[in-house]
Amino acid sequence: MAMRARQKIRAPRKGLASSKGDDFEANWQALSGSLKRIHTKDASDLSFEQLYRNAYNIIVTMRGHDLYERVKQLEREWLATEVRSSVDAAISPSLLFAQDALDIQDQANERRAAGERFLAVLRETWEDHQLSMGMITDVLMYMDRVVVADHRKPSIYVASMALFRDIVLRSPVRPDTKTTVADVLESTVLFLVQLERSGQIIERPLIRHCIYMLEGLYETITEEESSKLYLTSFEPAFLEASKTFYQKEGQRLVESADAATFCKVAMERITEEKERCASTLSTLSEPKIKEVLDNELIKRNIAEVVNLEGTGVRNMLDQDRLDILRSVYVLSSRVDNKKTPLTAVVQKCIVDMGQEINTLATAPAPAPETTDKKAVKEKEKPMNQQTMSAIKWVDDILALKKKFDAIWVDSFMSDQVMQSAITTSFSDFINSNPRSSEHLSLFFDENLKKGIKGKTDSEVDSLLDNGITLLRYIKDKDLFEAYYKKHLSRRLLMKRSASMDAERQMISKMKMEVGNQFTQRLESMFKDMTISEDLTSSYKDHIRKSASHDGKPVDLEINVLTSTMWPMEIMSNTRDEVQLSCVFPREVESVKQSFEQFYLSKHSGRKLSWQASMGTADIRATFQRSNGKTARHELNVSTYAMVILLLFNDVAPGESLTFAEIQSRTRIPDHDLIRNLQSLAVAPKTRVLKKDPMSREVKPTDRFFFNNDFQSPFTKVRIGVVSGSANKVENNDQRKETEKKMNEERGASIEAAVVRIMKQRKTLVHSKLMSEVLGQLSSRFVPDVNMIKRRIESLIDREYLERVGEDPPTYGYIA
Amino acid sequence: MDNEIPLPPPPRIRHRAPNTPTVPSSLHKTYHQLSRFDDRSSQPSSDPALFSSDDIPASGLENYHAPAASGCRKRRYRGTWWGEMVKDSKRKRVDFKDKRLVDSGVWMGSDDSGVDSLLPSEDASIWGEELLHHSTVGRAGEVAPGEIAAGAQQRVVFRKAEESREHQLARAIVNDCLEKGQDSVDLSIGGLQQIPQGLLSPLQHLTKLPTVKEPPISEDVYSSLRPFLRMFLAGNSLSDVPGDLFDLDALRVLSLRNNRLTEIPPAIRKLTMLQEVNLAVNELRFLPWELLWLIKKGDLKHLTVRPNPLWRIDEAEISHWFSLDGAPASSPEEALTLHNYEGPAPEEAWAPIHVATGPVRLFNMEGVMVDAPPTSSTSQSSRVPSLREVSLLAFTRSPFSDLISDADMADCPGLVPSLLRQARAVRNGGGRCCSVCHRSFVIARAEWIEWWDCSVYENGLKGPRSSGEKLRPLPFRRLGCSWACVPDASR
Amino acid sequence: MDSTPGSSEYVTLVSGDGFEFIVPRSTACVSGTIRRMLDPSSRFSEAVTGRCVLENMSGLVLEKVCEYLCYNLKNKNQTNVPDMEIPPELCLELLMAADYLDT
């Protein structure tokens, strides 16, 4: 039984809810007196519990609603009498009637002092109200929980804030005007902000506190974020004032100042406004004032600033004023993702500078071209100059590139848009130079031959990388490949490369940049070289073993080249006429045959074709001086020169051979013969032969003598072949030749691509086919649309393709 | 139970009248026994003490209950008793009552429906008051739970005769099942607007009768006597699910099809043996998360919920989308599509898939929704229940909680009465327990919808989802007992 | 009582029938009402003296309330909060105390 008694729920004692029935008035009397004392900051001997209990009792006797209304009424009275009067007293006439009196110093100062006084009073009033209402709300907590929840009323705190808004801020200052306290507050704050913008120091925390007030008050009792008084009333006014201000400021700056000043001021304004939002006004306004700045100050003026004569971006680029450029960039990127004015100027600038470089590189060239028929001397000298200028061209571009890279990183914050703009411009002007591929290849040639000597690996690396960067810009990569191949073949065969490592490095870099297909042929050139080395040594072994030779053996070093991989046509200088192979001297011929035999025994079915024009020979020459002495020199000459010189073994001293005789006995092509004879008889330091008459040009009737009086300080003499041996800028004829070949090759590539595509697709609409072909080939070159059309026609003629439809034109593949 | 609130029970007005003693105590007693009897109408009447509800610690009976598991004993007694009573159970009961009750007039009205609902309102109130005074008497232990809270008293009073017929019928069916050991309880299309208290509880003890008619030939002819309990309440007009349904822990199949249910109580979780549930054609807008729990952790294999006016995911507010591996999904499309798979269906093609989670709504200690947890408050995100919660929970657990009448509650100050009403509703629905920390609670402090695709279970595990299938998630409502019991950000 | 500083570590809760419970301030402030009562910025007498008289609460109930306040604070950051047992017969009175004290 006892247990059960314990378990029974005890009914709540009536005492908890006050038993006294109708003492609402008594409770309210106690409560209201206390609330007033809270407002007058005299609460220390009030008991919270007592007040809370008073309120609680009122509420549990169902009079909560009355209590709520009574409290509201009490607040209303308090605000309307005590609070209003102190605020009104703080409003001096200067605040009420002053307009934009910024220019008159005295008035401004007076208004400022009055304004700050007013703000201080308002701030204190507000903070007191907040504090008191906080306490009152705490005391009336239970009322809020019951009454507010039941009757869907705003909490007493919210209600009292609304009262503050209406009674203190929203009612007229004087009975005779419409100006409210809020209006005065607004104009005062705007006035102070204006002062600060013009450089004066104002009391920021004071304003900040008044703004807090506006942020803490709402238009509606639901207190949505968007209904803050700050947002509904103050902020629009602030933004409007700012707009006017920055419109004027922008105009003034553009009219009176240079671009640098504009940027500086604009940047300062940006930080200033940001700081103002953080410290004086509200961070809510930050994005909005930023927009005002962007629109009014920057967007309106940026194009003009960028293009300002004398101080604009052009000038900055010329003067390397990276810091200001950065400001320009920052400002531009704020208002325009594409930064149109800035990119336009930068692009134009790059193209201009690039064209200058182009002009510089091509300027000397026209001279020999226009006077093609002039003397050889004139033709040779500029050739070298041209090579120099080609390399200078590349260097200049690299310098320009470096400059803009630095600008891009420093000033343009590595912006993607800017990068692509810069790249486009570079590509544009580089490709506008028709010789860009050749120049670039020459640049590599020069560096791989000489330039990299004495440089560290990393230097070589960066040098090559620079070149590769330019390669990226070049559209006709196949043209570059042709030149590179030509230059490379010379370097390899003539053993001119400074470092094979560097060559290979270069190949792998190109492979990375342009792709496998591009370097395939270059790589096979290297492979041929390696195989040939092995071949030479195994041939030597073979000779040593067979050992049945008589007399002095001829040392043979041979390069067997795969004809399709090497630029044969360039090396052999064959024109269209049929080439008869050169007649080698007996000794050489036997060695040649011996090697052919050896080689064909290893690789039957192959055909060796001897390229004498590319070879060299070491011969030992004995010069019988007139004084009876004998001078010996080891001459390093081209194969053709060797053939010519060996002829003189059979010529009695003092006898001579004519050009025609030499030609008929050697069958060396005219072109090569002339050049070799020139180097043997005309070049001042290497006159192993004497020529009659002594002139530069070689005529068929000229006679050649062995020059026993040949003098050289060195035992070993290297006799180069004039022109053709070194890699130089092509002359016009050669270029036409190259272009022609290039076009043929491109035609073949296009056909191959078309057939490849059609084989896969069977039938295809013309436009689709075109775009696929362009896509496939774009990595190598930019095909000419007409050329593609012609090739398609040709393929149709040759019955690889057929027309299967006319509208739209469609092709079919014929298997 | 919500419909109870707008209908203030008549007793409230007179309750304060201090004239309780005018009612003879005999009436009170009569009523009492009657009510107990009524609740257990299918049980033997000869020894009420034996079958008193377990949660009442009636001191006089404790010794009796102690030695054996009460369930076994009861079952045995009942079994034998039915054998005798099977022909005419109803008349038997009347006889029995006649034997014990002096005032049969009171009895007549209350025959089959909720006792309180049939009593004249005055009597009811008096009874409530009386009970307070007399609760020390042994009889008080047998008060059936929920008499005060049983809904819609007035309506019941009006349709007394009609209602009772339906309840009678239902009761007859239940009794029949109990007697025959029939484990398929079909109360469908019975016109029931509510399930009378205590109608279903006896089924807890249902045992199948051995079906073997002839001597066994092999092992196979024996079948388990454990009932494969099936409950069909389809085609009635039920507006809420009675809490004692959830005490039938052997229930395997439950059909509530075609009723007027607006909510399934979370207590359905207690039915861990459930294999098949049909909730179609109701007024459900969401499902209890506990149903999902039964799928995942329990035995539920076939869930029929459509059609119902369920919330649609394309109209719902979603705060997180999930992809299959639980990572945040980048788009609703991603979350709503099963990934493509090849070959045999992966495990996840069978399992329920969490597609999305709706925003969490938080409630304060009084169950009023709040916008956001105030950051200043100290214990806001702790899991400690509020003192209100602790008190309310104790209230729901106390067997005496029904002794507090509505009128008593209304007399409490401020916000207390509504809390008490909520507590009672929760208790009648079978109780609630936090879906995150599993603590029992009364006032939910957090609520959110989780969207899970259970299409495999909706079609009864017939096959996996097909590759790349569009998911059709169902809204499951989860309740949390504190502001710390909210969905984990990581899932 | 004035000698007790407003910000001292302990506060005194006094029941209507005169029982005093001295509890840590942090514990007392679990209750929203008491927290406001003791808020130093408001300078009510309770905040000044650190003594809160809860007129309408019996010692029996206030004792249980204090027990709850301790229980709440102790388990504040626990993930597994043990149940607090309260005598069923007090549950209504405690409910009303909770309502009054906002806890």
Residue pLDDT, tens place only, A464-475: 888 888 888 888
Q: Is the pLDDT of residue A18 over 60?
A: no
Q: Which H or E run contains A31?
A: helix A24-39
Q: Which of A55-59, A361-365, A669-673, C24-28 has the lowest mean pLDDT?
A: A361-365
| C39 with A138: Cβ contact below 8 A | yes
Dmax (CA) for chain B in angstroms is 81
Compute the distance between CA of residue A167 and CA of residue B134 in angstroms, rounded to an integer.
62
With tokens 């300080």, the residue in question is: A713
Distance CA A613, CA A672 (A): 7
Residues contacting residue B373 through CB under 8 Å, at least 6 positions apart: B362, B380, B381, B483
Q: Is the pLDDT of residue B125 over 80?
A: no
| Amino acid identity for residue B257 in this structure | R
| pLDDT interval class at B143 (50, 70, 90) | very low
- Predicted confidence band of residue A115 (pLDDT cuts 50, 70, 90): confident
Residue with tokens 């005999």: B26
Kindly report which listed range (A100-109, A354-363, A535-544) carries the lowest average pLDDT score. A100-109
For chain A positions 47-76, those within 8 Å of chain C (CB to CB) are 47-53, 56
Predicted pLDDT at B26:
41
Comparing C-alpha atoms, which of A151, A167, A170 is closest to residue A69? A151
For residue A144, the chain B residue with the least C-alpha distance is B414
Say yes or no for a CB contact (<8 Å) between B412 and C92: yes
Compare A375 and B411 and report the one with higher pLDDT: B411
What are the contacts of A469-472 at 24+ separation with CB within 8 A?
Answer: A469/A398, A469/A401, A470/A394, A470/A397, A470/A398, A470/A401, A470/A430, A470/A436, A470/A440, A471/A440, A471/A510, A471/A513, A471/A514, A472/A513
For residue B323 the two structure tokens come to: 């992809």
Residue C100 and residue C103: Cα distance in Å, rounded?
Answer: 8
Strands B229-232 and B251-255: parallel
Cα–Cα distance measured from residue A357 to residue A396, given in angstroms and rounded to the nearest whole number: 7
Sheet holding A809-813, edge to edge: A763-765, A809-813, A801-806
Helices and strands in chain C: count of H runs, count of E runs? 5, 3
Q: By the 8 A CB rule, do A258 and A267 touch?
A: no
What domains does chain B contain, in order, with CATH numbers? 1-151 (no CATH), 159-210+225-310 (3.80.10.10), 318-460+473-491 (no CATH)
List subunits contacting chain C, requiring 3 or more Cβ pairs under 8 Å. Answer: A, B
Residue B201, both tokens: 């509880």
Q: Would you state the pLDDT for residue C7?
A: 58
For residues A49 and C52, the answer to whether their CB atoms sit within 8 Å is yes
Instruction: Tell whether the torsion through CA atoms of A406, A409, A415 and A419 is positive or negative.
Output: positive
State the average pLDDT over residues A404-423. Answer: 86
Parallel, antiparallel, or unpaired: how do β-strands B320-321 and B287-288 relate? unpaired
CA-based nearest distance A182→chain C, Å:
29
Q: What is the mean pLDDT of chain B?
A: 68
**Ordered alpha helix ranges (H), A573-731:** 586-602, 639-647, 659-666, 670-677
Interchain contact, A16 vs C39, CB within 8 Å:
no
Q: What does the pLDDT average to over B430-455?
A: 88
Q: Which CATH superfamily is domain A230-312 in?
A: Cullin Repeats (1.20.1310.10)
- How close C5 gets to chain B, by Cα (Å)? 23
The CA distances from residue B365 to A368, B10, B368, B446, B483, in Å, are 99, 30, 7, 11, 10
Rounded to 5 degrees, what are φ and ψ at B453?
A: -90, 120
Is pLDDT at B48 greater than 50 in this prediction? no
Q: Is A2 on the interface with B (CB under 8 A)?
A: no
Residue B47, pLDDT > 70, answer no
Give the bridge partners for B453, in sequence order. Answer: B353
- Pick among A44, A61, A130, A137 to test the C interface (most C CBs inside 10 A): A44
B394 with C68: Cβ contact below 8 A: no
**How far, in Å, CA of C32 to CA of A52, rounded?**
12
- Residues of chain C with C-beta less than 8 angstroms from the C-beta of A16: 56-57, 93, 96-97, 100
> Chain-centre distance of CA A753, in angstroms?
32
Contacts of A17 in chain B (CB under 8 A): 412-413
Query: A15 contacts in C (CB within 8 Å)?
Result: 16, 56
The residue-averaged pLDDT of A10-38 equals 70
Which of chain B's residues have a Cβ under 8 Å away from the Cβ of C76? 378-379, 382, 384
What's the token pair of residue C14? 């006094």
Q: Which of residues 48-67 of C touch A (CB under 8 A)?
A: 48, 52-58
Q: Scanning the structure block, which residue is given the tokens 């809160």?
A: C52
C22 in B contact zone (CB under 8 Å) = no
CB contact under 8 A, C92 and A9: yes
User: How far is the C-alpha of A533 from the C-alpha of A541, rounded, in Å?
Assistant: 13
Contact of B97 with B107, CB cutoff 8 Å: yes
pLDDT tops 60 at residue A561: yes
As a whole number of angstroms, the distance between CA A363 and CA A388 comes to 12
Q: How far is B328 from chain C (nearest CA, A)?
A: 25
pLDDT at B45 over 50: no
How far, in Å, CA of C76 to CA of A331, rounded? 52
d(CA B371, CA B365): 14
Mean pLDDT for B120-140 is: 41
User: Taking Cα atoms as reference points, which of B141, B133, B142 lies closest to residue B21?
Assistant: B133
A19 touches chain C (CB under 8 A): no
- Taking 90 as the threshold, does the pLDDT of residue C23 lie above it? yes
Check CB contact under 8 Å for C37 and A145.
Answer: no
The full length of chain B comes to: 491
Domain A230-312 and domain A740-813, same fold? Reply is no
Here the ipTM equals 0.89
Mutation target among C69, C81, C85, C102 for the B interface, most CBs of B within 10 A: C81
In the prediction, which pLDDT does B44 show?
34
Residue C88, chain A, CB below 8 Å: the answer is yes
A152–chain B Cβ distance below 8 A for any pair: no
User: What Rg, from alpha-carbon coordinates, does chain B have?
Assistant: 25
pLDDT-based confidence at residue A12 (cuts at 50, 70, 90): low
Closest CA to A547 of A485, A495, A505, A594: A594
How many degrees, rounded to 5, is the angle at CA A609 between CA A604 and CA A611?
145
DSSP B469: P
| CB distance B355 to B452 below 8 Å | yes
Listing DSSP states for B357-406 in one string gives E-PPEEE-TTS-EESS--SS-SSTTS-PPPHHHHHHHHHHHSTTGGGS-H
Quick one: closest CA in A to C6, which residue? A44
Please say whether the beta carbons of C102 and A23 come within 8 A.
no
Separation between Cα atoms, residue A800 and residue A756, nearest integer Å: 11
Fold annotation for A24-227: 5 helical Cullin repeat like (1.20.1310)
Domain ranges of chain C: 10-101
At residue B46, the pLDDT reads 31
pLDDT in tens, A227-241: 888 888 888 999 999
Of A9, A17, A59, the CB nearest to B401: A9
* A781: nearest Cα among A399, A477, A543, A506: A477
Q: What percent of chain B has pLDDT over 70?
A: 58
* The total number of residues written for chain A in this structure: 815
SS3 labels along B161-191: HHHHHHHHHHHHHHHHHHHHCCCEEECCCCC
Mean pLDDT calculated for residue range B339-349: 79
CA distance B379 to chain A (A): 18
Split at pLDDT 50, 70, 90, the class of B67 is very low
- pLDDT at residue A579 in the model: 55
Phi, psi of A456 (to 5 degrees): -75, 165
A340: left (phi over 0), alpha (psi -120 to 50) or beta: alpha
What is chain A's mean pLDDT, rounded? Answer: 80
Chain A, residues 95-154, CB within 8 A of chain C, namely: 131, 134-135, 138-139, 141-142, 145
Question: Does pLDDT of B400 surpass 50?
Answer: yes
Distance CA B126, CA B246 (A): 31
The CATH fold assigned to A740-813 is Arc Repressor Mutant, subunit A (1.10.10)
DSSP classification of residue A543? H
- Distance, in Å, from the CA atom of A419 to the CA atom of A699, rounded to the nearest integer, reads 58
Residue with tokens 């903070």: A127
- Which of B390, B421, B433 is most worth mutating to test chain C (most C CB atoms within 10 A of its CB)? B390
Which parts of chain C are beta strand (E)? 10-15, 20-24, 51-54
**pLDDT score at B286:** 93
Q: What is the pTM of this model?
A: 0.58
Residue A136 confidence (pLDDT) above 50: yes
Which of A1, A3, A4 should we substitute to test contact with B (largest number of B Cβ atoms within 10 Å)? Answer: A4
Closest CA to A479 of A783, A758, A763, A233: A783
What pLDDT is recorded for position C13?
93
| Cβ–Cβ gap A10/C56 under 8 Å | no
> Between B293 and B23, whose confidence is greater?
B293
Least confident of A70-84, A362-376, C26-40: A362-376
Lowest mean pLDDT among A386-395, A656-665, A776-785, B119-128: B119-128
| Secondary structure, 3-state, A86-126 | HHHHCCCHHHHHCCCCCCCHHHHHHHHHHHHHHHHHHHHHH
Residue of C nearest to B379 (CA): C76
What does the pLDDT look like over B258-279, one tens digit per residue?
A: 999 999 999 998 898 899 999 9
Whole-angstrom distance, CA of residue B329 vs CA of residue B318: 12
- pLDDT recorded at residue B167: 84
CATH fold of C10-101 reads Potassium Channel Kv1.1; Chain A (3.30.710)
The string of pLDDT tens digits covering residues A506-559 is 888 888 887 777 788 788 888 888 888 888 888 888 877 776 555 556 677 778
What residues are paired with B322 via a beta bridge?
B328
Quick one: closest CA in A to C101, which residue? A142
Considering only CB atoms, which chain C residues are within 8 Å of B397?
88
How is chain A split into domains, by residue range?
Answer: 24-227, 230-312, 313-516, 740-813
Tell me the pLDDT tens digit for each residue of A724-736.
444 556 667 777 7
